[in-house]
Amino acid sequence: MKTIQEIQADIVQDFAALTDWMDKYEYLIELGKEMPLIDEKDKTEDKLIRGCQSRVWLSCRAEDGRLRFAADSDAIITKGIISLLLRVYDGQTPADILASDEAFIEQIGLKENLSPTRANGLVSMIATIKAYAASFREAPAAPAAPAAGKGGLEDDIVLALRQVYDPEIPVNVYDLGLIYDVQVDADGQVFIKMTLTAPNCPIADDVVAQVREAVADVPGVKDVEVELVFEPEWTTDRMSEEAKLELGML
16-36 pLDDT, tens per residue?
A: 998 888 888 888 888 888 887
Domain boundary among 138, 158, 185: 138
User: With 90 as the cut, is the pLDDT of residue 90 above it?
Assistant: yes
**Is position 219 within any domain?**
yes
> Same domain, yes or no, for 8 and 126?
yes
36 exposure class (CB count in 10 Å sphere: 0-12, 13-18, 19+): middle
Q: Of 6-10, 22-26, 177-181, 226-230, give the lowest mean pLDDT range.
A: 22-26
Closest listed residue to residue 196, CA positions, set 178, 210, 209:
178
Peptide bond into 232 cis (omega under 30): yes
> Same domain, yes or no, for 216 and 169?
yes
Domain boundary among 97, 113, 138: 138
Pairing of strands 66-73, 179-184: unpaired
Contact by Cβ (8 Å): 184, 157: yes
Distance CA 68, CA 230 (A): 38
User: With 80 as the cut, is the pLDDT of residue 144 above it?
Assistant: no
121-142 pLDDT, tens per residue?
A: 888 899 899 988 988 876 434 3
187-198 pLDDT, tens per residue?
A: 889 999 999 988
Q: Check residues 249 and 171 and name the one with the higher pLDDT.
A: 171
What pLDDT is recorded for position 118? 76
Distance CA 100, CA 9 (A): 13
76: domain CATH number is 3.90.1010.10
Q: Structure pTM?
A: 0.56
CB-based contacts of 2: which residues, under 8 Å, 6+ apart? 10
Q: If pLDDT is split at 50, 70 and 90, which confidence band does 70 have?
A: very high
Active-site residues: which are they? Answer: 52
